Chain A
Amino acid sequence: MQSFTWINAKSIEEVKGALAKHGKKARIFAGGGDLTTLMKERIDTPEFVVNIGDVKDIHYIREEKDGLHIGAMTILADLAEHEAVLGRYTALAEAAGAVASPQLRNMGSIGGNLCQRPRCWYYRGAFHCYKKGGDFCFAVTGDNRYYHSILKGELCYMVHPSDTAVALLALDARITIAGPQKEKTVKAEDFFIGPRQDVLRENILQPAELITEIVVPTPPANTRSTFLKTRIRGSWDFALASVAVRCTAKNGVCQAARLALGGVAPVPLRVERAERALAGKKITRELSQQAAQLATAGARPMTMNRYKVDLTRSLVEKALLAVA
């Protein structure tokens, strides 16, 4: 690990100050579950590491009139076990509970989970690919069987590794960003960007910005949600494919649905075509199969991951039947 100066910020103002001062040389340190390894491998070599763990007012889960407010430093294990989250924002509790291992869920924050870097093994290894400023994607000609995309890949074919991001898209969450400018709030789906927009990063954050809060709106009455994930090993692993769905239904008829996929594209992917196909219809096995086809329409699998198309379809089908 390259040596760095440790800055233990106590307030958002101090974090913003340190980030503004040191710009690209500074990195936020939340739980360290990803950043410590990135630094050990020298994939990331910040000169200033700004700890946000001791910033008081970003550790909370509060249910308010407009929905669930989650401080960026909230620990994943707490989200996974929180009664209100389990009850009304089920997909998020399930996604947080499906992240990594118990130890990592005890360390990792929701903000850090959303901002973690890709798990493409070329990126994690000693390969100077597009993502690191190089001019080649090793996954295209190399081994792309697990953590590479079947949808929306171009230049870089990574898949976004965050499980909670997929749930937040389905739950229509908003992400609050603080920085040198006035605080702003964006939809979760607008937070993540694909390689065409900027191959060097996975979200819209500028070097001096940070996530401070995530807000999940109160779901309408008669709404259920769920998150499903398949992985190589049952005990813990990143998603080969995952799906989060939120469905408002009356007498088995879907009034509105939101559906998002993980593990298949460089961003957590909302699939509106599939959502539209569900609205106003009774959710049957047949309809969920149709929605699953639509969700993966236009898939362009790579040399070794064609199986992910079927895997994703069956997850979508299963999830829809579970919430109907």
Chain B
Amino acid sequence: MATTKGDERLRMSRRSFLKGMGVGAATSTALATGLVKPRAGKAAVPPLVEGLSYVPVELKINGRRYALTIEARRTLADVLRTELNLTGTKIGCDRAECGACTVIVDGRAMYGCSLLAVNVQGREIETIEGLAKNGRLHPLQEAFIEYDAYQCGFCTPGQILAGKAFLDKKKSPTLAEVKQALSGNICRCGAYHHIFEAVLAAAKKL
């Protein structure tokens, strides 16, 4: 029987496998079902395991509210990916060095891997999933496609969000300014040249 189980597991995608594992320490707020009612009271939650500190957390992501109960030590990037299924946010280094986890918080680009979810409550969080509106891609997303601004694509959500936070404030930037704004995002495939071109092209359309 063990083999059958093993085969089944192999057939599952990595994502559904992780989901099936109950994604770590989250208690059961309705996330597996997609969502998400604001929690009424904020009563203290008894720990599942002695010594662990669970907290009720309310997040506002791409204009939607999510309520969940998690351990205080969990990072925003981790919670986005494993609790909320918003897997567009990538985790590369997990130590504030690569930018793959970039999200926008109250209009500023930040590293989701180094923010604690409990600490971004009440703030407007934007992730890559929130960029397309009514089935239409954001001009930056279109430009990344048009200019072929990636190879593997792993750094792309972070690059686009760093670019968006920048272009939301800056009209008609120079190449040097674009480079500076995206300097916290590493591209291991070295697609920098195309990335900068895409951001400059998107700036003209915004």
- Residues on A facing B (Cβ under 8 Å): 1-6, 8, 29, 32-33, 36-37, 39-41, 49, 51, 53, 77, 100-104, 106-107, 235-236
Judge whether A102 and B116 touch: CB under 8 Å: no
Shortest Cβ gap from B120 to chain A (Å): 10
From residue 137 to 166 of chain B, which have CB atoms closer than 8 A to chain A?
162, 166
**What are 26 A-B contacts defined by CB distance under 8 Å?**
A1-B73, A3-B51, A3-B52, A3-B71, A4-B72, A4-B73, A5-B72, A6-B55, A6-B72, A6-B116, A32-B119, A33-B114, A36-B113, A36-B115, A36-B116, A37-B114, A77-B108, A102-B166, A103-B96, A103-B99, A103-B184, A104-B111, A104-B184, A106-B110, A107-B110, A235-B184
Is the C-beta of B127 less than 8 angstroms from some C-beta in chain A? no
| Interface membership of B62, Cβ < 8 A | no
| Cβ 8 A contact of B73, one of A3, A53, A104 | A3
* Chain A residue with the shortest CB-CB distance to B78: A1
Nearest neighbor of B161 in chain A, beta-carbon distance: A103
Is B183 a contact partner of A236 (Cβ separation < 8 A)? Answer: yes
Contact with A along B21-59 (1 / 0, CB 8 A): 000000000000000000000000000000111010000
Contact of A29 among B75, B108, B119 (CB under 8 A): B119
Q: Are B53 and A103 in contact (CB under 8 A)?
A: no
In the complex, are the beta carbons of B72 and A49 less than 8 A apart? yes
Q: Is A32 in contact with B184, judged by CB distance below 8 angstroms?
A: no
Cβ–Cβ < 8 Å partners of B102 in chain A: 103
In the bound complex, what is the Cα–Cα distance between A181 and B137 (angstroms)? 57
**Which residues on A sit within 8 Å (CB–CB) of B111?**
33, 103-104, 107
Q: Which bracket fits the contact residues of B? A: 20 to 34
Assembled-state Cα–Cα distance A106/B115 (Å): 11
- Complex contact B52–A40 (CB within 8 A): no
- Residue B109 is within 8 A (CB to CB) of chain A in the complex: yes
Q: Is the CB of A6 within 8 A of B184?
A: no
The CA-CA distance from A50 to B99 in the complex, in Å, is 26
Q: Are B183 and A107 in contact (CB under 8 A)?
A: no
Is B95 at the interface (CB under 8 A from chain A)? yes
Contact with A along B115-139 (1 / 0, CB 8 A): 1101100000000000000000000
B53 touches A4 (CB 8 A): yes
Residue of B nearest to A101 (CB): B184
Whether A102 contacts B114 in the complex (CB less than 8 A), given A36-B96, A51-B119, comes out as no
Can you name 10 extra interface pairs (CB under 8 A) apart from A4-B72, A49-B72, A104-B111? A32-B119, A36-B113, A40-B94, A100-B184, A101-B99, A103-B109, A103-B111, A103-B162, A106-B109, A235-B179
Contact in complex: B118, A6 (CB < 8 Å): yes
Chain B residues in the interface with A (C-beta under 8 A): 51-53, 55, 71-73, 75, 94-96, 99, 102, 108-111, 113-116, 118-119, 162, 166, 179-181, 183-184
Contact A37 B72 (CB under 8 A): no
Chain B positions within 8 Å of A104 at CB level = 96, 111, 184
Q: Are A6 and B53 in contact (CB under 8 A)?
A: yes
Q: Which residues of chain A are near B116, meaning CB under 8 Å?
A: 6, 29, 32, 36
Complex Cα–Cα for A2 and B49 (A): 13
CB distance from B166 to the nearest CB of A (A): 8
Bound form: Cα–Cα A39–B115 in Å: 12
User: A3 and B184: CB pair below 8 A?
Assistant: no
Give A53's nearest chain B residue, CB to CB: B119
Which residues of chain B come closer than 8 Å to A51, judged between CB atoms?
119
Whose C-beta in chain B lies nearest to the C-beta of A3?
B52
| In-complex Cβ contact of B72 among A3, A41, A107 (8 A) | A3
**How far, in whole Å, are A104 and B109 apart by their CA atoms in the complex?**
9
A39 B114 Cβ-Cβ under 8 A: no
In contact, B119 and A107 (Cβ under 8 angstroms): no
Q: B73, B96, B184: which has the most chain A beta carbons within 10 Å?
A: B96
Q: Contact partner of B183 among A1, A39, A77, A101, CB < 8 A?
A: A101
Chain A proximity of B57: nearest CB distance (Å): 10
On whether A32 and B72 interact (CB within 8 A), knowing A102-B181, A103-B102, A235-B183, the answer reads no
- Whole-angstrom CA separation of A152 from B53 in the bound complex: 42
Give the residue name and chain of the B residue nearest to A97 (CB). B180
Q: Contacting A36 at CB < 8 Å: which of B53, B75, B166? A: B75
Give bound CA distance, A289 to B72, whole Å: 53
B75 contact set on A, CB distance < 8 A: 36
